[in-house]
Amino acid sequence: MTTQTEPVTATASIATSAKDGTAPTSYEWDAAGNRTKAGATTATFDARDRPLTEGSC
């Protein structure tokens, strides 16, 4: 079974997803809708929403 939670705010959305027997993975988005975190991987964007970096925490 997969569980999911929905975004909590418009500016700092957080969601989690998990499958049976696995640890949940958290996802975060910024106000522009860019995914800034997926599990331990983070990403940054410039003022025009272009990706600048993506890497591990």
pLDDT (tens place) for every residue of the chain, 57 residues total: 455 555 555 556 777 888 888 888 889 999 999 999 999 999 999 999 999 998 865
Query: Of 16, 51, 21, 22, which is closest to residue 36 (Cα–Cα)?
Result: 51
Residue 56 resides in a domain: no
Residue 20 resides in a domain: yes
> How many structural domains compose the chain?
1
Torsion angle of the four alpha carbons 17, 19, 25, 29, in this order, in degrees rounded to the nearest 10: -20
Residue 8 resides in a domain: yes
Residue 10 resides in a domain: yes
Domain extent for 7: 1-41
Residue 2 resides in a domain: yes
Does residue 42 contact residue 57 with C-beta atoms inside 8 Å? Answer: yes
Does residue 1 contact residue 12 with C-beta atoms inside 8 Å? Answer: no
Q: Which pLDDT does position 47 carry in this prediction?
A: 95
Distance CA 49, CA 6 (A): 23
Residue 55 resides in a domain: no
Residue 49 resides in a domain: no
